[in-house]
Every structure is written in C-alpha cells, then in structure tokens.
C-alpha cells in the first residue's frame, strides 16, 4: 500500500519534470531582422505553428529585430514562413528561413516591399516651362504638356505636389496636390495655368 503511493508520487514528479522540458520551453531565441514594415498585419509561423504577429517598428524605415516569443531547443528544426502580410506590403522575402538550431538563431532576414502606386495628373494651358515637385522628386514640363507623372510612391505615404518654378508670364495652381496614397494610382492632381 505504502509503496504504491510512493510509486504514483514518483511517477507524477517525473511527469511534471518532463513536461517542464516540453516543446516550447527551449532556451534559444529564434529571430533576426525585418525591414519594410510600417503597419500591423505581418504574421510569421515556425514549422506551421507558433503564430507571431510582428509589432510595427518605431522608425520610419520599418526596420527592427524580431524574435518568436516561443523559445526553441538545441537541435530543433525550424522553418519560418509568412502567414499573412500587412495590407500595404506586396511581398516579403525570407533569407535563411529554415535550419537546425545549434545556438540562438539571429540570422533570419525578412525584407518586405511596400506596394507602390503611380502619382500623376493633368495640366491645362501650359505655355512655358513648369517645374513641379513632390518633396525632393522633381518633374519639368515643357510648353504644351498635358499630363505628368512623378516617381511611384509607397501605399500610405503622403504626397505634396507643388509648383517650384512658374512658367514665364503664367501662374499655375495645383489642386488635389496633397494627400495620402491609397490602394490605387492617384491620377487626379490637376494643374491649371492662367491664360
């Protein structure tokens, strides 16, 4: 009777001790560097599970280190994949996505590309040379031009189209020049010039 209690107790202690070493209770970090994340929505998985929603980095470039909250153990195989993308990202590429852990894994590099959309519009009655700018991006229009295009800009980025140099003898004004890039091209920036 007494020994059977002892045995059961020992078995229980054993089970508790073993479960403490189980699956997600490793000692090693699994992570690396991520760039191009400006809003929430990126979810990573390891071996098809351990969903991890990557927080948005504080800096404007969206660069930070990331680590799965679940630790892994020596000799564990890992395979990191992207489950969902933020809505403004077209693609994320993963370098060194899989391997076998010998020590902490810091070597997973994830690079995400933001979706880019066209920024442009129309000009009316231009008779001289006009220089339009969107910040540091510059477009020079020749007399008679009817449309213009700036470099494509990332989704959710602001844009501020303005006149840098007016054509000789004319004054051009910009409407719909400022805003935030949505999910499609912006083609409605309108420039009209005085006769």
Partner 1 sequence: MKSSLIRPALALALVAGLAGCGGSDKAEFAVKGTITGIVYPGAVLTTNGMDLAIAPAAKPGDPVTFEFPNKLEYGDVYNVQFKSTPQHQAACGTPANTIANYTDTAGRLAEINITLTCAVDDYPISGTVTGLTGTGLVIANGSTGNSGAIALPTTPTTTPIPYSLPIEVPYGASYSVAVITQPTGQFCTVANATGEMRDGAVSNVNITCVAR
Interface with partner 1 by CB under 8 A: which residues? 60-61, 119, 133-138, 153-154, 157-164, 177-181
DSSP 169: T
- Whether 131 and 138 have beta carbons less than 8 Å apart is answered as yes
Q: How far is the CB of 163 from partner 1 (least distance, A)?
A: 7
Q: How far is the CB of 93 from partner 1 (least distance, A)?
A: 21
Q: How far is the CB of 124 from partner 1 (least distance, A)?
A: 20
The shares of helix, strand and coil residues in the chain, as percent rounded to the nearest 5, are 10, 50, 40
With respect to partner 1, which residue has the nearer C-beta, 119 or 191? 119
CA dist 175 and 96 (Å) reads 48
With respect to partner 1, which residue has the nearer C-beta, 10 or 164? 164
Q: How far is the CB of 32 from partner 1 (least distance, A)?
A: 20
Extract the tokens encoding 142: 């020749």
Nearest alpha carbon to residue 53 among 21, 85, 27: 85
């Amino acid at each position: 009777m007494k020994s059977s209690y002892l045995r059961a107790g020992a078995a229980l202690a054993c089970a508790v001790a073993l479960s403490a070493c189980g699956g997600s209770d490793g000692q090693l970090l699994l992570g690396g560097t991520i760039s191009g994340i400006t809003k929430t929505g990126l979810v990573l998985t390891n071996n098809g599970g351990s969903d991890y929603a990557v927080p948005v980095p504080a800096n404007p470039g969206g660069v930070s280190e990331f680590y799965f909250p679940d630790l892994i153990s020596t000799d564990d195989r890992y395979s990191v994949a992207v489950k969902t993308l933020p809505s403004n990202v077209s693609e994320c590429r993963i370098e060194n996505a899989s391997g076998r852990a010998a020590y902490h894994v810091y070597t997973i590099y994830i690079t995400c590309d933001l979706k880019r959309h066209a920024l442009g519009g129309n000009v009316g009655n231009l008779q001289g040379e006009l220089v339009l700018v969107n910040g540091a991006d510059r477009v020079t229009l020749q007399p008679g031009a009817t449309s213009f295009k700036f470099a494509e800009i990332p989704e959710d980025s602001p844009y501020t189209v303005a006149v840098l140099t007016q054509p000789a003898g004319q004054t051009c004004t910009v409407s719909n020049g400022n805003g935030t890039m949505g999910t499609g091209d912006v083609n409605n920036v309108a420039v009209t010039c005085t006769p």
